[in-house]
Each structure stands twice: as C-alpha cells, then as structure tokens.
Structure 1
Amino acid sequence: MASAVRAGRRLRRAAEGGELAALPAGLQAELEAALASQGALVPFSLLRRLHTALREAGSPLYLHELLEGCEIDLPEVPVPPRQMNGTLAEFGRQVRSVKAVVITIFNFIVTVVTAFACTYLGSQYIFAETAARVLSAVIVASVVGLAELYVMVQTLEGDLGKL
C-alpha cells in the first residue's frame, strides 16, 4: 500500500521559492529534508500536516496544486515462491480417485437393493408367504452382492482396468 509520494516540480518549486514561508519552521524543515532525501519521497503524514498548516495560515495555495506532477510511490510487492507440493494437478487426481470410489460404492448399494426388490416382487408369483419371499430376496441380493464384490476386488487389483 502506498505511503508516500515522489515530489514533482511544483512541490519542489514551492518549497525552494518561498511560497511555503507561512509554514511553521519545523514543518518547513521536515519538508525540505524529505525533498532532499533519496527519491524525494514525501510521506502522506507530512502531506496531511502540510494541508492543515496551509488551511490554518489562510494560504492561497491548495494541496492539490502542490501535488501536480507528483507520483504515488508504490512499493515493490514481494512475490512468494510457488509451492510445488500440493499442486492443483495432484488435487485433481485425488478428487478423481475419491469420485471413482464413491461411484463404485453407490453402484454396489443400488445393485444389491435392486436385486432384493426385484426378487421380492417377482417371488410373489411363486411363494404365498411373506417370509419365503423375503428369504428368497435376501439370498438373491447376497449372491448379487458377492458377485459385485468379486468384480470390485478384481478391478482394484487391476485385472479389469483402473478406476
């Protein structure tokens, strides 16, 4: 953030030419010291005091006239070094991996529940009792679940491809 201005010709001429003679001696000396410093940087705090002193003295000079040609001094912002660990590409790979696992688990649950529901509804034509229908649905859902687990294990080992 800027905290000083680089003095322009108008401010230097006013300080050297005696246009600011109505200022208190301490403020005038501080302004001359700032103008003589390297880069002629005048801090904003000094400009505020200068503005107040010009108002109190009833000077015909206005601060914006004195600041004509001045440049705001913006300090160099240090650029932090990039962190190579934890890049976005690595994060993307991790998200894809987690996404694949979540989809696989969701697929497993949907397959087992669907097998149970289809067997339960389809067995009403074979069994009259609810207990027999539920038992047959549990058996079929278990077989489908074991088959699905077998396929998942083979996939994770790499026999059927990567996730």
Structure 2
Amino acid sequence: MASAVRAGRRLRQAVEGSELAGLPADLRAELEAALASQGAVVPFRLLRRLRTALREAGSPLYLHQLLEGSEIDFPEVPVPPRNPELVARLERIKAKLANEEYQRMTRNITGQQTNGTLAEFGRQVRSVKAVVITIFNFIVTVVAAFACTYLGSQYVFAETAARVLSAVIVASVVGLAELYVMVRTLEGDLGKL
C-alpha cells in the first residue's frame, strides 16, 4: 500500500524558494531532508503536517497545487523465495499432464500408413456389412408383405390375378414406406457427420 509521494518539480521549487517561508522550521527541515533523500520520497504523514501548517499560516497555496507533477510511490513487494519441494512437485505435475495430453493426441496413431491397415479394412467391412443387412432387410420385408397379402387375399378374391395384383400393390406400398424410412435414416446419419 502506498504511503509516500515522489516529489515533483512544483513541490521542489516551493521548498527551495521562499513560498514556504512561513512554515515552522522543523517541518521545513523535514521536507528538505525528504527531498534530499534518494528518489525524493515524501511520506504522507509529512504531507498532512504540511497541509495543516499551510492552513494555520493562512497561505494562499493549497496542497494539491504543491503536489502537481508528483507521483505516488508504490513500494516494491518483496517476493518470497519459492519452496524447492513445491517447485519440484509442480514440475512433476506439468510433466504428467503434458504426457497425458501427448498420449491422448497420439492414441490413434500407429507406425504404419493408414491405407491398407487392418483397422481400415475393419471399418470398410463394417460399412459393407451395414449396407448388406439394410438391403436384406428391405428384400425380406417386401417379400413377406407380398406373401402375406397373396395368402390372405384368397379369402377375398377367387381369381389368382386379383390376388397377385393386390399382393403387388401392398408390397409396393410397404417397399416405398421402407425406402422412406431408409432415406430418413441415412439423412440422420449424414446429418450427424
């Protein structure tokens, strides 16, 4: 916390000149000693005494006029020495965190090229497997719809042509519905990418 002011040119001129001649001799001597010190640092308590003395003497000078160009002196805060055990512990923690970050960044990297590796082949097989299962599911659904409609329509239609036509219509509707669901699923999957 600041407790002093570095004297500016205006305060120096006032002390060296005759502007502060009406002040008590001891206050004037303290001011001269403070200005002669290294950095010309004047403590706040001395400035308070100077203000009181200026008021009592009825001087036309005000303290803020004298302090024009002065700066507040902020003392340097001494930095305590760091504990060597703490520094060593912090270094170990930093090294551990850096190693974990490195491991996280390089966990998917192998020494081989990514083309033709077993992992890439596995991803391609899974992709093909998903497509094959989707197509098989579509075919089974359409065939099952056709078969159920063909067999169930024997109670409604006596002619085979009407039964086949109704089975084709129902299988087509089921196939279109299945295609719609597949397209929506693909859009959702592609939207997530």
TM-score norm. by structure 1 comes to: 0.51
1-structure distance, mates of 2:18, 2:32: 11
Partner of residue 119, structure 1: none
Alignment partner, residue 75 of structure 1: 75
Structure-2 residue corresponding to 1:84: 87
Moved more, 71-80 or 49-58: 71-80
Rounded Cα–Cα distance in structure 2 between residues aligned with 1:67 and 1:44:
11
- Which has the higher Rg, Structure 1 or Structure 2? 2
Residues of 2 paired with 1:25 and 1:13: CA distance?
Answer: 17
1:61 aligns with 2:61: yes
Q: Is residue 50 from structure 1 mapped to residue 53 from structure 2 by the alignment?
A: no
Deviations 1:64-99 (A, max 9, x none): 110011111111112223432664986xx9xxxxxx
Q: How far apart, in 2, do the equivalents of 1:58 and 1:89 lie?
A: 68
- Output the amino acid matched with 1:27: L
Q: Does 1:12 align with 2:26?
A: no
In structure 2, the residue matched to 1:38 is 38
Equivalent residue of 2:19, what SS?
A: coil
Find the aligned partners of 1:78 and 1:25 in 2 and give their Cα distance. 36
Structure 1 runs, 4 residues or longer, greater than 6 Å off: none
Unaligned ranges ≥5, structure 2: 97-193
Shift of 1:36: 1.2
Equivalents in 2 of 1:55, 1:5: separation in Å?
A: 20
Task: Tell me the distance in 2 between the aligned counterparts of 1:17 and 1:46.
Answer: 19
Q: Which has the higher contact order (CA 8 A, sep 6+)?
A: 1
The structural deviation recorded for 1:62 is 0.4
**Percentage identity across aligned positions?**
77
Answering whether residue 29 of structure 2 is matched by residue 29 of structure 1, we say yes
SS of equivalent residue, structure 1 residue 61: coil
CA distance in 2, matches of 1:81, 1:37: 30
Q: Distance in 1 between matches of 2:80 and 2:46?
A: 32
Measured against aligned partners, the alpha-carbon deviations of 1:21-53 in whole angstroms (never above 9, x if no partner) come to 111111111111111111111111100100100
CA distance in 2, matches of 1:88, 1:60: 63
